[in-house]
Amino acid sequence: MKDYRQRFDLTGRVALVTGASEGIGRGVALGLAGAGADLILASRREELLREVKSEAEELGRRAEVCTLDVTNLASITALKAFTLEHFGKVDVLVNNAGYSVNREAWLVEESDWDRMLDTGLKGVFFCSQMIGSIMREQGYGKIINLSSTYSESVAVGTSVYAALKAAVSHLTEALAVEWAPHGIRVNALAPTATLTPSRLPRTTPELREMLISRIPLGRMGTIEDLIPAAIFLASPASDFVTGHTLFVDGGWVAKG
Going by their DSSP bridges, the two strands 92-95 and 141-146 should be labelled as parallel
| 77-to-24, 36, 130, 183 alpha-carbon distances in Å | 24, 27, 7, 22
Burial class (CB in 10 A: 0-12, 13-18, 19+), 14: buried
Separation between Cα atoms, residue 70 and residue 79, nearest integer Å: 10
Cα 111 to chain centroid, rounded = 23
> Is the CB of residue 38 less than 8 Å from the CB of residue 63?
yes
Cα 25 to chain centroid, rounded = 6
**DSSP single-letter state for residue 146:** E
Which uninterrupted H or E stretch holds 134? Answer: helix 123-138
| 56-to-10, 52, 253 alpha-carbon distances in Å | 14, 6, 33
One of 4, 99, 150, 161 is an active-site residue; which one? 161
DSSP labels, 162-181 = HHHHHHHHHHHHHHHHHHGG
Separation between Cα atoms, residue 34 and residue 120, nearest integer Å: 27
**Cα angle 38-39-43, degrees, rounded to a multiple of 5:** 175
Query: 161 an active-site residue?
Result: yes
The catalytic residue positions are 161
